[in-house]
């Protein structure tokens, strides 16, 4: 018999156990209707003598994706999620969570309120609330440490890290992994526990806390959290779970949750969350099927190419890495192996995973060996003649339907495409270095790119675990266009009176991991110098042009690798260099600029303003589809602090 508890919650009785299914697409979020339905289901079981226990599961591939983020900021209907979780935990009849897929945030909190947890092998569990600028608000900070211990729980809550079923079992967050039929196993578990006092997580005693381990973990987490409030609050709440009752802990947790939920950081991070989902929706691609890609060819196995190769191997593809000579290909192979080894050393990859990846890799010094590739990505020297010749040679090698991707940063991919016989198969795939780590890929929709080629590039980037953002063609695409505007304004600030260390300090206090001048030094100054020299002949003489960077390069100050740039690096440590200060002062004098003191607030406002103005230009020119795409590019490729939402959000453009 089928029972209906609400629009999103139904039940059926199997073997005397009420199996409750949450069906609230797309992610079974804990909406008001879902909470009411689940509450009613528990009441129904309590009142029905023929029911021995309850199983809670989710329809489809997800258990519960968390609280409904769209309800944040609106008045909440009862039962609130913490009330619901307490109600489940208080049930006199055993309640078993059959975790069929992702149990995240409020979803895991519901599972923690159950008396027994069984997960399917593919399930993912976690409390990712800090990624939304909040802490869990339905007991997660109090119940997770009662199962996993304070240190493990605090690390999970403060970083938002998800764990798979294996790890969840190891740290006692779940009781078992289902072999085959999850629901049958959960029903059997409920029957077995019928009539016994339920094991309530909230009544478990917390094991004593290893203070040293906690401190070490907390320092690491806080160093990465720079300026964000939620991770610190998460650490505090989990730690104090060991020192007070769950009721007291939950009052504090709830108050903290509400305070953070209404904070600017949380608003910014919610914007980022929805921006990521919006970026996947690209005009003109509805119903367009990507081409099937199994084998990815990569030409040029330098730093960028080998990073892309590792990303492609991680994504499950067969990879053919090619370079101009057998020797260069061998060097590339060694680079790829070294990157995999590094992942093994850091625990991100196991030995088996390394072997499986290497079995899918071939390297060659002959382009002809790319014949089987479904997609070839070139990552050779950023020179139009070199890339054009390469694409023309590839045309004689790969199948007619193979896709050609270019990783150029500054060249015009339309010119490159026009030099080929089938420009419709050319697309830009602009990775960021190190390509196996950085999440952003600018997918460049060239003038002639076919819709299914664009869809293919997006699908591949997604499978590599990347965040693809579509850009139109303009010099530097979205990211480097904005970054150029940022650089230009930073140099104006120098002339006007600020020093590199003051500008960097202001931006670092704002939330950037590194200020602009530290970044220039890290990236090296010579490429931008070469570009400025190329542009010199066509530059408008009335345009404001700051020569200080040219003076630095002329003095051989090419950045951190050279040991000197905007800063000096004695023993590798970034240090203010009076020689640079003198160069800046000389440049001001030459232009008769009287330096004035510029406060951090003005520095931040001017740099953000310059970025947003360039963003406006990109939107008007339809280079970017939407303001939030620009925010994602800056956050994921250029270190813009996510908790400020990106330059367009910060400037009120969203």
Q: Which residues are catalytic?
A: 109, 129
* 3-state class (DSSP) for residue 638: helix
Instruction: Encode burial over 550-586: b for 16+ CB neighbours within 10 A, e otherwise.
Output: bebbeeebbbbeeebbbbbbeeeebeebeebeebbee
Cis peptide leading into residue 182 (ω within 30°): no
CB of 130 to ligand 3H9, least distance (A): 10
* Distance of closest approach, residue 473 Cβ to ligand 3H9, in angstroms: 27
Nearer Cβ to ligand 3H9 (66/307): 66
Cα distance between residue 606 and residue 651, in whole Å: 11
Question: What does the block give as tokens for 92?
Answer: 């006199």
Instruction: Tell me the β-bridge partners of 58.
Output: 22
Between β-strands 467-471 and 440-444, what pairing exists: parallel, antiparallel or unpaired?
parallel
Cα 300 to Cα 324: distance, rounded to the nearest angstrom = 8
Shortest Cβ distance from residue 62 to ligand 3H9 (Å)?
6
Which one, 79 or 497, has the nearer CB to ligand 3H9? 79
* Residue recorded with tokens 């015009």: 412
Q: Between 146 and 564, name the residue whose CB sits nearer to ligand 3H9.
A: 146
H helix runs in 443-499, sequence order:
451-463, 477-496
Reply yes or no: is the peptide bond before residue 26 cis, omega within 30 of 0: yes
Tell which phi-psi region holds residue 531, choosing left (phi > 0), alpha (psi between -120 and 50) or beta: alpha
Our CB check for ligand 3H9 shows the closer of 117 and 606 to be: 117
Output the smallest distance, CB 255 to ligand 3H9, in A.
12
CB of 465 to ligand 3H9, least distance (A): 12
Q: Are 335 and 310 in contact (CB under 8 A)?
A: no
Of 464, 399, 461, which is closest to residue 425 (Cα–Cα)?
Answer: 399
Q: What is the nearest approach in angstroms of ligand 3H9 to the Cβ of residue 627?
A: 17
151/236 Cα distance (integer angstroms): 11
Residue 313: closest CA among 378, 347, 358, 376: 358
Q: Which is nearer to ligand 3H9, 62 or 633 (CB)?
A: 62
DSSP for 214-231 reads HHHHHHHHHHHHTT-SHH
CB atoms within 10 A of CB 181: 12
Q: Which is nearer to ligand 3H9, 143 or 557 (CB)?
A: 143
| C-beta closer to ligand 3H9: residue 129 or 323 | 129
**Which is nearer to ligand 3H9, 215 or 277 (by Cβ)?**
277
- Closest distance of CB 5 from ligand 3H9, Å: 20
Distance CA 273, CA 649 (A): 13
Which has the closest alpha carbon to 461: 441, 434, 432, 437? 441
At its nearest, how many Å lie between ligand 3H9 and the CB of residue 136?
Answer: 4
Question: Residue holding tokens 């800056």?
Answer: 634
Q: Which run of H or E residues covers position 648?
A: helix 647-650
Q: What is the DSSP letter of 208?
A: P
> For ligand 3H9, which is the closer residue by CB, 277 or 590?
277
Binding positions for ligand 3H9, rule: CB under 6 A? 26-27, 29, 62, 65-70, 81, 102, 104-106, 109, 128-129, 132, 136-138, 140, 277
Cis before 79 (ω within 30):
yes
User: Is the Cβ–Cβ distance between 566 and 584 less than 8 Å?
Assistant: no
Q: Which two tokens stand for residue 536?
A: 């010199």
Work out how close the CB of 615 gets to ligand 3H9 at its nearest, in angstroms, rounded to a whole number.
Answer: 22
Which one, of 523, 552, 532, 495, lies nearest residue 639 by Cα?
A: 523
């Amino acid at each position: 018999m089928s029972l209906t508890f609400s629009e999103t919650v139904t039940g059926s009785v199997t073997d005397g156990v009420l199996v409750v299914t949450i069906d609230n697409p797309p992610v079974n979020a804990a909406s008001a209707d879902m909470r009411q339905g689940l509450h009613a289901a528990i009441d129904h079981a309590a009142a029905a003598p023929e029911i021995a226990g309850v199983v809670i599961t989710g329809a489809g591939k997800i258990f519960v994706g968390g609280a409904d983020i769209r309800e944040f900021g609106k008045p909440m209907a009862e039962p609130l999620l913490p009330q619901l979780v307490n109600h489940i935990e208080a049930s006199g009849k055993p309640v078993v969570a059959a975790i069929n897929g992702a149990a995240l945030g409020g979803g895991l909190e519901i599972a923690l309120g159950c008396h027994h947890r069984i997960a399917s092998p593919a399930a993912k569990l976690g409390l990712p609330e800090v990624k939304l600028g909040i802490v869990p608000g339905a007991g997660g900070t109090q119940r997770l440490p009662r199962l996993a211990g304070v240190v493990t729980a605090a690390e999970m809550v403060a970083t938002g890290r998800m764990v798979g079923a294996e790890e969840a079992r190891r740290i006692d967050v779940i009781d078992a992994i289902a072999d085959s039929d999850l629901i049958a196993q959960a029903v059997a578990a409920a029957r077995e526990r019928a009539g016994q006092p339920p094991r309530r997580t909230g009544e478990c005693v917390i094991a004593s806390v290893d203070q040293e381990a906690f401190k070490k973990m907390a320092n690491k987490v806080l160093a990465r959290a720079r300026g964000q409030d939620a991770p610190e609050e998460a650490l505090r709440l989990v730690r104090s779970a060991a020192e007070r009752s769950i009721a007291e802990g939950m009052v504090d947790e709830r108050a903290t949750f509400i305070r953070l939920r209404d904070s600017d950081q949380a608003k910014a991070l919610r914007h980022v969350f929805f921006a990521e989902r919006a970026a996947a929706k690209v005009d003109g691609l509805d119903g367009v099927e990507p081409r099937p890609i199994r084998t990815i060819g990569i030409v040029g196995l330098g730093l960028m190419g080998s990073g892309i190769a590792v990303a492609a191997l991680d994504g499950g593809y067969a990879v053919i890495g090619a370079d101009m000579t057998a020797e260069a290909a061998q060097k590339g192979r060694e680079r790829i192996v070294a990157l995999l080894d590094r992942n093994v050393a850091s625990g991100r990859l196991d030995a088996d995973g390394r072997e499986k990846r290497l079995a899918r890799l071939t390297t060659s010094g002959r382009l002809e060996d790319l014949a089987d590739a479904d997609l070839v990505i070139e990552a050779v020297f950023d020179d139009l003649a070199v890339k054009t010749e390469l694409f023309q040679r590839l045309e004689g090698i790969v199948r007619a339907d193979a896709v050609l991707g270019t990783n150029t940063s500054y060249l015009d991919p339309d010119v490159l495409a026009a030099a080929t016989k089938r420009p419709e198969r050319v697309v830009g795939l602009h990775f960021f270095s190190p390509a196996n780590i950085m999440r952003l890929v600018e997918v460049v929709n060239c003038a002639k790119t076919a819709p299914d080629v664009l869809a293919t590039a997006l699908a591949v980037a997604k499978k590599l675990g990347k965040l693809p953002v579509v850009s139109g063609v303009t010099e530097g695409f979205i990211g480097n266009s904005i970054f150029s505007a940022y650089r230009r304004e930073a140099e104006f600030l120098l002339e006007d009176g600020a020093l590199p260390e003051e500008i960097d300090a202001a931006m670092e206090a704002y939330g950037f991991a590194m200020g602009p001048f530290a970044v220039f030094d890290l990236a090296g100054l010579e490429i931008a110098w070469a570009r400025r020299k190329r542009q010199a002949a066509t530059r408008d003489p009335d345009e404001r042009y700051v020569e200080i960077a040219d003076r630095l390069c002329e003095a051989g100050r090419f950045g951190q690798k050279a040991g000197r740039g905007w800063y000096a690096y004695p023993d590798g440590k970034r240090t203010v260099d009076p020689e640079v200060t003198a160069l800046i002062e000389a440049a001001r004098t030459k232009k008769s600029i009287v330096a004035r003191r510029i406060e951090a607030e003005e520095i931040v406002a001017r740099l953000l303003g310059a970025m947003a103005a360039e963003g406006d230009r990109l939107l008007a020119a339809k280079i970017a589809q939407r303001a939030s795409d620009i925010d994602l590019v800056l956050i994921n490729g250029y270190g813009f602090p996510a908790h400020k939402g990106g330059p367009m959000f910060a400037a009120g453009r969203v």
